[in-house]
């Protein structure tokens, strides 16, 4: 078994959709980024890549590469799962925490977990997504952006 850790953050901006785990979340602001800026999916991807020592999302999918402009991050997650499979590893479980003052994410958690599980081809019991505010401290607390932390355990397939 191997463990990986992921972290990501993105700045809020006007005129973009907020996408978390491939799910569009109703909010007056979206996140700024070259891709869809899906901070949760980026974080999960980095946790998986870290566990398998495959580098990081920026190295695999550079933001200087036009083919990743406005890319759906869950499609990158699918590619990373295929790489992991090719190496002979499977994901045991993912645990992630999204840090955001707003919007309230509890109503969307089930949909987010289902979306990630389906894009990863794992069972929903293997993925746990949580959300916290930052008690109005820091950039998340000032609603300048969102961040996310995730761990991933992988194991060699028999
Ligand atoms: Mg990112």
Please report the pLDDT score of residue 65 as a whole number: 82
Gap between the Cα atoms of 73 and 10, Å rounded: 14
Tens digit of each residue's pLDDT (9 = 90 or more) over 146-155: 999 999 999 9
User: What is the Å distance from ligand 1's center to 46 Cα?
Assistant: 9
Tens digit of each residue's pLDDT (9 = 90 or more) over 53-111: 999 999 998 888 888 777 899 999 999 999 999 999 999 999 999 999 999 999 999 99
User: What is the Å distance from ligand 1's center to 11 Cα?
Assistant: 10
User: What is the Å distance from ligand 1's center to 41 Cα?
Assistant: 8
Gap between the Cα atoms of 158 and 154, Å rounded: 13
Tens digit of each residue's pLDDT (9 = 90 or more) over 26-38: 999 999 998 999 9
Please report the pLDDT score of residue 72 as a whole number: 92
pLDDT band at 131 (very low <50, low <70, confident <90, very high): very high
Please report the pLDDT score of residue 50 as a whole number: 98
User: What is the Å distance from ligand 1's center to 158 Cα?
Assistant: 33
Please report the pLDDT score of residue 140 as a whole number: 96
Q: Are 150 and 116 in contact (CB under 8 A)?
A: no
Please report the pLDDT score of residue 69 as a whole number: 79
User: What is the Å distance from ligand 1's center to 150 Cα?
Assistant: 13
User: What is the Å distance from ligand 1's center to 9 Cα?
Assistant: 6
Please report the pLDDT score of residue 11 as a whole number: 98
* Domains, the chain, ordered by start: 2-156 (3.30.1330.50)
As given in the structure block, the two tokens for residue 62 are: 């550079």
User: What is the Å distance from ligand 1's center to 132 Cα?
Assistant: 19
User: What is the Å distance from ligand 1's center to 8 Cα?
Assistant: 5
Q: Please list, in sequence order, all residues whose beta carbon lies within 8 angstroms of the beta carbon of residue 46, skipping any fewer than 6 positions away.
A: 4, 5, 6, 7, 8, 56, 57, 150
| Model pTM score | 0.96
User: What is the Å distance from ligand 1's center to 39 Cα?
Assistant: 5
Please report the pLDDT score of residue 51 as a whole number: 98
């Amino acid at each position: 078994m191997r463990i990986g850790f992921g972290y990501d953050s993105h700045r809020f901006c006007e005129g973009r959709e907020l996408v978390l785990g491939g799910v569009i979340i109703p909010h007056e602001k979206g996140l700024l980024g070259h891709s869809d800026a899906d901070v949760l999916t980026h974080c999960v991807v980095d946790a998986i890549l870290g566990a398998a020592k495959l580098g990081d999302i920026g190295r695999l999918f550079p933001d200087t590469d036009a083919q990743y402009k406005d890319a759906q991050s869950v499609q990158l997650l699918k590619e990373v799962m295929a790489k992991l499979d090719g190496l002979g590893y499977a994901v045991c479980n993912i645990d992630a925490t999204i840090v955001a003052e707003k919007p309230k994410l509890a109503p969307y958690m089930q949909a987010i977990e289902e979306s990630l599980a389906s894009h990863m081809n794992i069972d929903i019991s293997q993925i746990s997504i949580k959300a916290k505010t930052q008690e109005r401290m820091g950039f998340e607390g000032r609603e300048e952006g969102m961040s996310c932390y995730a761990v991933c355990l992988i194991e060699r397939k028999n």
